[in-house]
Structure 1
Amino acid sequence: MTATQWILNGALLAWVLLRNLGARAVGPATYLVPLLVVNVAGLVFLRDVPTAGNDPALEAIGIGAGLLLGVLATGLTRVGADAGRTVIRAGAAFAALWIAVIGGRVLFAEWATHGGARAVGEFSVHHGITGADAWTAAFVLMALAMVVGRTVSTGVLVALRTHRARPAAAR
């Protein structure tokens, strides 16, 4: 991994944790900021997504895993009320999931570029994956999908909680 990749992974982790840990009031920024970040990151990091061989399948697996992990992250949060506002609370389990996921990506990248290069190369050839660019795209798509999955599932959770909190006559 390059120094830039280390910095980007660390920045993503710091951003997610600083933005989500503790109790946070729900507002438009809860949804708009993550989606804006995903769009910008997608434009910057996904200029050339490999489509040969089984690269699209690997990328689809990355997207699917990211969406599932995003929903899992939401499952590790609680939605409640505080001073009349809807708030989301995230704690240690939420942080542990994000650390494990981003740490896992970093560990895989380090292993793949050092001691595991041959194993990843053989796996790639055997499964029709064209190379490092496909793996990079899959992991970037996974990261972006995790943020989108978390944002959308949070919106659903907040909507359900808000619906239940209203008196039946107001519905």
Structure 2
Amino acid sequence: MPKSTTDAVARLRTLNELLARVSDTERADHARRALEFAYREHPEDLLRVPIGDYVDKLAHLHFGPGPGTADFAFAHWHVPRLDDFSPLWIRQAIVTEMKKLAGRREALLLVTGLRQAVCAEGCYWTKQREAQYQRVRGWIDALACAWATRGSRLEVVVL
């Protein structure tokens, strides 16, 4: 199995376990079995489909089609490939996702694709790209904190 496939599977398993902490145990078991089945039966699909699509499917398995429970909310933002990371563009995307989390006691904002957006596959990870990644990550954290509901417990996870 190529390294990129095993990395994708490892990220999906980690995400699945993270979501299992806040979802129903029966749904979590179902999602775990579905992920293992997909890995056993169709490992080549993990290379073709972006991880952002799998995240949405895992969230659907854990939380159902609705917006979430009254106490917990989940939002996912997959960063598209861009040459220039404008603070205004990032602000718009984060504010849109934070509005989905408004009014909940606990919330999880999941950001995927940031590392791939900063450094495309086949390119080297340089100090300049690391600085850009940290700068964008700081913007995301600051915006999430600014738009979080007062008294809520917000977790921002960047995969």
Q: Flag the structure with higher helix content.
A: 1
**If the length of structure 1 is used for normalisation, what is the TM-score?**
0.30
TM-score, normalised to structure 2's length? 0.31
Higher gyration radius (CA): 1
